[in-house]
């Protein structure tokens, strides 16, 4: 456990130094804060929902980019710099190496998610204050309510999704030979998982159903945006949480298996 | 060759393991997102689907493009952008509402070519575009089954384009559910009256009168509507008595 922690700590430190990640984080935070202004161009959306969607967009889109790019860069920097060979020559197992790398990425993703959530809370709070000044008659379906606990749970589930995407990228990295290929392949699998490929297929058949099961369905995490306005549905929360955790461990085990048969 | 076979077998094993995990955890996906079956992305919208929460903002920008095409009377660009809007954000009633109005009432004028077409052709185009708008609204109602606005849109198209008051009445009735605002109830009563069912119109207005805020300015008009219908029914009775 100490070894995993040490590798994770080192990976997280390295992740902080990545300029690309800082740039994406800055863009995500700026765009989230920009949602108040973007609302002026909006047509027909409920204002609080529109603002919350900007936070979800920053977490979902930029978060997926950070997850994939960071995982691939951290993984390949160890292999290309030959530090992985030095590390694995010591009493460090491949599981500890892969788990440490993933934990390091997860730490960086936690900071990313927290920064975006805090940035998203500002326009949400301001929009709610603005709506609070309007009379009740302005709201046909009743005054929209904002649940901060739901917002926190939504953020946590999005974080679980990002870690699962990172674990998926870890598997692609462990199995592939070049970083560019790993990044492209990870993005493709990630897009299929986020969009939910089941949306594109119809019909049935064993092979098609089996193919649909191979790619995880990360679209289920989008449902959690409803927690911000309607409160947390704990059954849905735990189902999504365990779904994410199961995939994180499945991808981790497969990554270790793929990495074990790889020449460093 | 052996190396390639080994890689192929490894990929196959990984896929089998993931399929097993996917199958075992599919019940969790169903609990986590029970209403997901209603959402479907079209071809172009799928490309934007990866943007997640930004889809609504993108849809708003696409609507601006549709609006620019509308100003120029560019049929194809306007309709394709409206289609993209509703695919990106099917829950936004405004896109369905304005889109249907554009299809039913604006596009026929673009297709007439300056009003030079014969009346029979104009009528045929109006009916074709009206049918397209109704089909468009049907898709909107699949995404938003509780929307009164879209049901009223269908009623308006049946009435104005097809002059089919009975079909319009069906959609007015569908919109006039429990909790419908004053104007929806009055519209439904008006349509009942136009269909020659003044008694039913009065019954509807009387049955809903208790559910509205009596201090609201529009309630006066509501009472006036009841009064007018009562007078009409009474005068009809008197006429029959004579």
ipTM, two decimals, is: 0.81
Of A57, A175, A257, the CB nearest to B51: A57
Q: What is the structure's pLDDT at B116?
A: 74
Each residue's pLDDT tens digit, B192-207: 988 888 888 899 888 8
Given B132, B164, B196, the domain boundary residue is B164
A45 to chain B, any CB pair closer than 8 A? The answer is: yes
Whether the Cβ atoms of residue B123 and residue B163 lie closer than 8 Å to each other? no
Given B117, B137, B164, the domain boundary residue is B164
Q: What is the structure's pLDDT at A264?
A: 67
- The conformation of residue A182, written as its DSSP 8-state character, comes to H
Looking at per-residue confidence, does B14 or B133 come out higher? B133
Q: What is the structure's pLDDT at A235?
A: 92
Question: In the predicted model, is pLDDT for residue B84 greater than 80?
Answer: yes
Say if B142 falls within a structural domain. yes
Question: In the predicted model, is pLDDT for residue B232 greater than 90?
Answer: no
Q: What is the structure's pLDDT at A137?
A: 65
Structure tokens given for B215 = 């201090």
Q: What is the distance between the alpha carbons of residues B128 and B75, in angstroms, rounded to a whole number?
A: 14
Q: What is the distance between the alpha carbons of residues A227 and A245, in angstroms, rounded to a whole number?
A: 20
Q: Are residues B120 and B212 in the same domain?
A: no
Given B164, B186, B207, the domain boundary residue is B164
Question: In the predicted model, is pLDDT for residue B241 greater than 80?
Answer: no
- Cα B84 to Cα A115, B77, B81, B148, distances in angstroms: 32, 10, 5, 23
Provide the pLDDT confidence category of residue B44 given band limits of 50, 70 and 90. Answer: low
Chain A residues whose CB is inside 8 A of the B57 CB are 38, 42, 50, 53-54, 57
B14 to chain A, any CB pair closer than 8 A? The answer is: yes
Note down the domain range covering B99. 52-164
Work out whether the CA dihedral B184, B186, B191, B195 comes out positive or negative: positive
Local structure of A81: helix, strand or coil: coil
Would you put residue A231 in left (φ > 0), alpha (ψ -120 to 50) or beta?
A: left
Number of domains in chain A: 1
Q: What is the structure's pLDDT at B34?
A: 80
Say if B57 falls within a structural domain. yes
Nearest to A75 by CA among A41, A104, A46: A104
Average confidence (pLDDT) over B213-238 = 86
Q: What is the distance between the alpha carbons of residues A140 and A175, in angstroms, rounded to a whole number?
A: 54
Number of domains in chain B: 2
Say if B8 falls within a structural domain. no
pLDDT mean values, one per 10 residues, chain A (264 residues): 84 86 90 82 76 89 92 86 79 86 92 94 88 70 80 94 93 86 86 64 60 81 87 92 94 89 73
Q: What is the distance between the alpha carbons of residues B68 and A244, in angstroms, rounded to a whole number?
A: 43
Say if B135 falls within a structural domain. yes
With a CB cutoff of 8 Å and minimum separation 6, the contacts of A10 are A100, A104
- The conformation of residue A90, written as its DSSP 8-state character, comes to S
Q: Are the Cβ atoms of B18 and A55 closer than 8 angstroms?
A: no
Q: Are residues B83 and B184 in the same domain?
A: no
Nearest CA in chain B to A171: B14
Each residue's pLDDT tens digit, B125-162: 999 999 999 999 999 999 899 899 999 999 999 999 99
Q: What is the structure's pLDDT at A201?
A: 52
Q: Are residues B131 and B191 in the same domain?
A: no
Question: In the predicted model, is pLDDT for residue B1 greater than 70?
Answer: no
DSSP codes joined into one string, B88-154 = H-TT-HHHHHHHHHIIIIIHHHHHHTTTTS-HHHHHHHHHHHHHHHHHHHHHHHHH-TT-HHHHHHH
Question: In the predicted model, is pLDDT for residue B176 greater than 60?
Answer: yes
Say if B29 falls within a structural domain. no
Nearest CA in chain B to A200: B41
Q: What is the structure's pLDDT at A212?
A: 73
Q: Are the Cβ atoms of A239 and B53 closer than 8 angstroms?
A: no
Say if B5 falls within a structural domain. no
Between residues 163 and 202 of chain B, which touch chain A (CB distance below 8 Å)? 181
Note down the domain range covering A71. 2-260
Of B25, B53, B63, the CB nearest to A54: B53
Q: What is the distance between the alpha carbons of residues B56 and B91, in angstroms, rounded to a whole number?
A: 10
Q: Are residues B65 and B148 in the same domain?
A: yes
Mutate to test the interface with A, among B3, B57, B67, B149 (most CBs of A within 10 A): B57
Q: Are residues B156 and B195 in the same domain?
A: no
Residue located via tokens 């009445």: B169
Each residue's pLDDT tens digit, B112-128: 876 677 888 888 999 99
Looking at per-residue confidence, does B232 or B242 come out higher? B232
């Amino acid at each position: 456990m100490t070894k995993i922690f040490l590798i994770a700590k080192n990976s997280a430190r390295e992740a902080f130094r990545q300029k690309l990640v800082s740039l994406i984080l800055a863009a995500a935070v700026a765009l989230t804060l920009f949602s108040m202004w973007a609302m002026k161009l909006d047509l027909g959306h409920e204002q609080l929902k529109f603002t919350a969607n900007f936070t979800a967009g920053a977490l979902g889109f930029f978060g997926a980019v950070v997850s994939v790019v960071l995982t691939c860069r951290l993984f390949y920097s160890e292999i290309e710099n030959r530090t992985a060979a030095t590390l694995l020559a010591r009493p460090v197992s491949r599981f500890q190496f892969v788990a440490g790398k993933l934990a390091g990425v997860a730490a960086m993703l936690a900071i990313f998610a927290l920064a975006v959530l805090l940035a998203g809370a500002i326009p949400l709070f301001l929009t709610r204050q603005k709506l609070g000044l309007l009379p009740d008659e302005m709201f046909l379906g009743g005054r929209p309510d904002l649940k901060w606990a739901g917002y926190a749970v939504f953020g946590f589930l999005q974080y679980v999704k990002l870690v699962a995407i990172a674990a998926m990228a870890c598997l692609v990295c462990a199995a592939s030979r070049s970083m560019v290929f790993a990044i492209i392949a990870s993005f493709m699998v990630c897009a299929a998982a986020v969009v939910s490929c089941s949306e594109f297929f119809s019909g049935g058949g064993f092979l098609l159903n089996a193919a649909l099961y191979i790619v995880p369905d990360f679209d289920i995490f989008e449902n959690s945006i409803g927690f911000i306005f309607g409160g947390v549905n704990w059954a849905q929360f735990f189902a999504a949480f365990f779904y994410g955790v199961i995939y994180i461990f499945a991808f981790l085990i497969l990554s270790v298996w793929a990495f074990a048969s790889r020449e460093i | 060759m052996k190396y390639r076979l080994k890689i192929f077998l490894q990929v196959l094993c990984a896929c089998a393991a993931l399929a097993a995990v996917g199958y075992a955890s599919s019940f969790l996906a169903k609990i986590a997102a029970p209403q997901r079956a209603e959402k479907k992305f079209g071809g172009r919208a799928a490309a934007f689907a990866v943007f997640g929460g930004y889809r609504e903002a993108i849809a708003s920008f696409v609507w601006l493009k549709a609006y620019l095409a509308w100003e120029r009377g560019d049929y194809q660009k306007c309709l394709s952008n409206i289609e993209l809007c509703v695919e990106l954000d099917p829950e936004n009633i405004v896109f369905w509402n304005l889109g249907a109005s554009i299809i039913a009432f604006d596009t026929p004028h673009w297709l007439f070519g300056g009003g030079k077409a014969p009346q029979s052709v104009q009528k045929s185009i109006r009916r074709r575009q009206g049918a397209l708008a109704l089909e468009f609204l049907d898709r909107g109602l699949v995404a938003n089954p509780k929307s009164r606005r879209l049901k009223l849109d269908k009623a308006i198209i049946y009435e104005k384009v097809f002059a089919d008051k009975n079909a319009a009445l069906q959609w007015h009735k569908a919109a006039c559910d429990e909790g419908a605002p004053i104007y929806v109830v009055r519209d439904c009563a008006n349509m009942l009256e136009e269909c020659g069912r003044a008694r039913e119109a009065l019954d509807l207005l009387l049955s809903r009168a208790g559910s509205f805020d009596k201090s609201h300015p529009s309630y006066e008009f509501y009472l006036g509507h009841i009064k007018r219908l009562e007078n009409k029914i009474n005068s009809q009775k008197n006429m029959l008595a004579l």
